[in-house]
C-alpha cells in the first residue's frame, strides 16, 4: 500500500437511511468510513461484519445478543463479527471505522 493522505472533507456523503450518513474510501482491501448518526438513530437490522473503530464525537450504544455496551468520544471498539446493532445517544455520534473491503 502506498502511503496516502485521505481528505474526508473532499469525499461525498452517502445516506443509506434517515439519520445515518457516511463517507468512505477503499484501498488494498481496506475500507475507511466516517459515519454520522443523528440523535437517537437506531439500526433496525443486525450487522454481522467485523469492525475496528474510534468514537470521534458523541455517544452510542452497541447492542449484542447478550448485552449492550456504551461507547463515548475517545473510546475505541473492536467487534469480531458478532451480531450487533448501534443506537446513537441523545446528541448523536460520529464514528471512524476501519474494515475489510
Residue 13 has pLDDT above 90, yes or no: yes
Residue 76 lies inside a defined structural domain of this protein: yes
Residue 50 lies inside a defined structural domain of this protein: yes
pTM (2 d.p.): 0.90
Distance, in Å, from the CA atom of 72 to the CA atom of 40, rounded to the nearest integer, reads 14
Domain range for 49:
31-100
Residue 39 lies inside a defined structural domain of this protein: yes
Residue 11 lies inside a defined structural domain of this protein: no
Report the CATH number at residue 75: 2.60.120.10
DSSP assignment letter at 65: S
Give the pLDDT of residue 4.
82
The answer to whether the beta carbons of residues 94 and 70 sit under 8 Å apart is: no
User: 29-61, pLDDT tens digit by residue?
Assistant: 999 999 999 998 999 999 999 999 999 999 999
User: 83-99, pLDDT tens digit by residue?
Assistant: 999 999 999 999 999 99
Residue 20 lies inside a defined structural domain of this protein: no
Residue 89 lies inside a defined structural domain of this protein: yes
Residue 22 lies inside a defined structural domain of this protein: no
Considering its fold, how many domains does the chain have in total?
Answer: 1
Amino acid at each position: 500500500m502506498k502511503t496516502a493522505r485521505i481528505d474526508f472533507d473532499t469525499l461525498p456523503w452517502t445516506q443509506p437511511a434517515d439519520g445515518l450518513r457516511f463517507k468512505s474510501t477503499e484501498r488494498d482491501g481496506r475500507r475507511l468510513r466516517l459515519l454520522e448518526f443523528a440523535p437517537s438513530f437506531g439500526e433496525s437490522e443486525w450487522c454481522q461484519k467485523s469492525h475496528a473503530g474510534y468514537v470521534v464525537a458523541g455517544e452510542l450504544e452497541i447492542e449484542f445478543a447478550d448485552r449492550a455496551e456504551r461507547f463515548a468520544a475517545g473510546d475505541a471498539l473492536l467487534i469480531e463479527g458478532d451480531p450487533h446493532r448501534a443506537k446513537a445517544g441523545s446528541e448523536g455520534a460520529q464514528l471512524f471505522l476501519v474494515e475489510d473491503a
